[in-house]
Amino acid sequence: MPCVNVGKENSGDIELYYEDHGSGDAIVLIHGYPLSGASWEKQMPVLLASGHRVITYDRRGFGKSSQPTAGYNYDTFAEDLHKLVKHLNLRNFALVGFSMGGGEVARYLGKYGSEGVSKAVFVSSVPPFLLKTPDNPEGVDGSVFEGMQKAVVADRYVFFTEFFKNFYNTDVLLGKRVSEQAVQASWNIAAGASAAASLACVPTWHEDFREDLKRIDVPTLVIHGDADRILPISASGNRTAKLIKGARLVVVKNGPHCITWTHADEVNPELVNFLGKGGAKQAASDPRKEAVA
């Protein structure tokens, strides 16, 4: 099982599980809460067919990765990603983050810069800043996140059941764009996540990424559904696109939070068009192909 060591907790190693398929220019797909790299199921074959090397990994605490009780903050998540990038010696790679994964994209570029990074994509993502503060009146009241944490502590399995209703907008889309079985499969993955991670990740959603976004200097695509109940487009996608110079915003009509599943037929062509063909000739002609330090 391919893993990269990103640290230790007492006597145990902290390892991230990853999958690395295909060839050509690399794309790193970063999943959302509370899922795993397997959640890119509908994007993988399309990106591979377009000639890319496609890499997915499970965030610490989720999927097949280690489940430590510490390190659930975006500086550590970005450091974990950086260690994976170095481990695989990636060059000329794109970063694609869904939901919580968009935070890794923002913090990685804000902290490590864009050397070696060709493009960035934010899909239904948490940036720029979800918490309501005096200088961020568009944000969400902190009590909302506190309530979610209490629900996770009380019974995280019940919490996940309710969470996925809004994740997929099941009252509207169940039996049309998402099946009961797909929702159950997501719940199963969530149930297998670390209890510590399930709780500790909630307050990370209101991290302030505004300065990170301002530092992004690579071509950027923002994709968001206009019916997203988890991260409303007005609080996230629209603002993210405005903060990144030259970013392109694609709005998926009637799209819920998980447009990567329910609206894959609309999301996938946008990804392929933006990321281009991943052939070796294109990579050789691209001047931005220095290895990440």
Could you give the residue numbers annotated as active site?
99, 228, 257
Angle between helices 142-168 and 180-191 (to 10 degrees): 140
Q: Which residues of 2-18 are buried (b: 16+ CB within 10 A; e: fewer)?
A: ebbebbeeeeeebbbbb
Q: Are the CB atoms for 9 and 73 separated by under 8 Å?
A: no
Containing 97, the helix (H) or strand (E) segment is strand 93-98
Residue 133 burial (CB count, 10 A): 11
Task: Count Cβ atoms below 10 Å from residue 171 Cβ, excluding itself.
Answer: 8
Give the integer Cα–Cα distance in Å for 277 and 292.
22
Q: What is the bridge-based pairing of β-strands 93-98 and 248-252?
A: unpaired
SS (H, E, C) 99-110: CCHHHHHHHHHH
SS3 of 131, please? strand
Residue 115, Cβ neighbours under 10 Å: how many? 11
Helical packing angle, 74-87 and 101-112, nearest 10°: 80
Judge whether 265 and 46 are in contact, CB under 8 Å: no
Distance CA 103, CA 155 (A): 26
Q: Which helix (H) or strand (E) holds 250?
A: strand 248-252
